[in-house]
Amino acid sequence: MKKLTILVVALITSATAYSQTTLTLEQCKELALKNNMAIKNSALEVEVAQQIKKNAYTNYYPKVNANVFGMQAINPLIKYKMEGGNLPVYDGNPANLATATQFAYFPGVELSMMQRSAIGVLNITQPIYAGSKISTGNKLAALNVDVKENQRQLTENEILLKTEQQYWQLISLQEKEKTIEKYELLLNEVRKQVDDAFTAGVIIKNDVLKVQIKQSELEANKNKLLNGKKLATMQFCQTIGIPFDATFVLLDVIDVTQNPSQYYTDNQTALSGRTEYQLLEKSVEAAQLQIKMKTGDYMPTLAVGLAGYHVNMLEKGATNNTNGLAYVSLSIPISDWWGGSYAIKEQKIKQQIAENTFEETKDLLNLQMEKVWTDVNEAWKQIVIMNETAVQTEENLKVSQTGYDSGIVTLSDLLEAQALVSETADKLTEAKTQYKLAVATYLQVTGQK
């Protein structure tokens, strides 16, 4: 029977382990890059910018327009009536015209035109010079693609950092769960000893109640931890774009063998590689191009073109007409320069603002890197302290357990020693987690990942 029970438990444990979703940090990052909606939308923004760039390039080519106009009037738009009568016959001598003796009868004419007609026009225009607006517009469109690419990279960096932060927080909760289980075993062992002692009449009921209270507190903390772990798992699944799974298990352990010096990089070296820095550079470049674009609004424009038209009167006996022409168009804004000069000054002020923002943000980025580096070192020192404390609390527990078994140490002191070991283990786990989070943030803000 005992062997059968062991076999059943082993099969159940194996089936449960097989059904669990297990992932490593790298797998989670790959899922986030593939499934996260913010990253998908950022990639679509890049595609939109690329289409805008292609559209801007078409401005180098001729513009072709075709127009067709047809109309039907209630009455003819043009009416003409000439009365009839006798007209003198001209014999070629101007002197005889006033005293002509021969006449020809003219019956009179009544004309009506343009009651209905159709007109087709085809126009081709090729810009020769447009104040550099076409070339500047293409540069702005290309710059916009670069900006969207940088923004996409920035979004990916943020999501990857968020994924790693949530990952290590879940690992931390898994480690704390193990600590609680270990503490639970210790309390169960003490409870067994206390129950035996109470049954033998060695101790009073109050000692049993002390252990029961600790067990109740532990159960409440365990439920709180499990609920927090469930919510953290749901949030993590949403970040990496997979369905929520209550059996979700992460495979890594919190490895803190590498000290901070192995991650350090010079701030000035890292600054130029940061995506935020590159975006600031492009904002200044965009402001410069906007000045050129605004200046182009007030420059002469030159274009050449071809136009052709066909007029069909849609009337019996009417003669249709087809013609074409080549032309040159030159437009010179004159009075617009009065207001235009202020618009150009406005753009120059905006450029100055962009440059000032660039300089200020560079300092802030340096400050951010320095702050995160300080966080890394502080977290490392905290690990060292908590490791020493953990050794001390373990030794204290051994002494307390020996003393309790010998009747020298009270039950309250033993329970306190056990609680201190569990509390220190949680703090050590928290310190390791904070170190991993600080390192991940530092690597991200220094452009190392």
**Mean pLDDT for back-to-back runs of 10 residues, the chain (449 residues):** 40 43 88 92 95 94 93 79 75 72 72 80 93 92 95 94 93 91 91 88 86 92 93 92 83 80 90 91 94 92 93 79 92 85 92 94 94 95 94 93 88 91 93 94 89
Cβ neighbours for 178, distance < 8 A, ≥ 6 positions apart: none
Phi, psi of 27 (to 5 degrees): -65, -40
CA distance 189 to 328: 101
Q: Which of 74, 79, 71 is nearest to 113 (CA)?
A: 79
Residue 374 pLDDT:
95
Residue 152 pLDDT:
95
Cβ neighbours for 139, distance < 8 A, ≥ 6 positions apart: 289
Residue 202 pLDDT:
80
Query: Which secondary-structure segment (H or E) carries 294?
Result: helix 275-296
C-alpha distances (whole Å) from 158 to each of 184, 404, 437, 447 are 39, 53, 13, 12
DSSP state of 89: P
DSSP state of 254: -
The residues facing 122 across adjacent strands are 66, 308
Contact 319, 393 (CB under 8 A): no
The pair of structure tokens assigned to 34 is 């593939």
The pair of structure tokens assigned to 68 is 């067709």
The pair of structure tokens assigned to 76 is 């003819």
With 0-12 / 13-18 / 19 or more C-beta atoms within 10 angstroms meaning exposed / middle / buried, residue 119 is middle
Query: Which secondary-structure segment (H or E) carries 31?
Result: helix 25-35
Phi, psi of 70 (to 5 degrees): -130, 150
Return the number of other C-beta atoms located less than 10 Å from residue 131's C-beta: 19
Q: Answer yes or no: pTM beyond 0.75.
A: yes
CA angle 191, 196, 201 (to 5 degrees): 120
Residue 115 pLDDT:
77
Phi, psi of 448 (to 5 degrees): -90, 0
Q: Which of 440, 425, 384, 429 is nearest to 254 (CA)?
A: 429
Helices (H), 303-410: 336-406
With 0-12 / 13-18 / 19 or more C-beta atoms within 10 angstroms meaning exposed / middle / buried, residue 432 is buried
State in Å, rounded, how far the first CA of the chain is from the last one. 56
Query: Per-residue pLDDT tens for 70-95?
Result: 888 888 777 777 787 777 777 777 77
CA distance 28 to 238: 11
With 0-12 / 13-18 / 19 or more C-beta atoms within 10 angstroms meaning exposed / middle / buried, residue 256 is middle
Q: Which residue has the tokens 């995506």?
A: 275
Residue 111 pLDDT:
67
Residue 348 pLDDT:
94
Contact 166, 159 (CB under 8 A): no
Helices (H), 241-335: 267-271, 275-296
Residue 89 pLDDT:
74
The residues facing 302 across adjacent strands are 129, 330
CA distance 338 to 348: 16
CA distance 231 to 248: 12
CA distance 215 to 206: 14
Cβ neighbours for 195, distance < 8 A, ≥ 6 positions apart: 208
Integer Rg of the chain from CA: 44
With 0-12 / 13-18 / 19 or more C-beta atoms within 10 angstroms meaning exposed / middle / buried, residue 363 is exposed
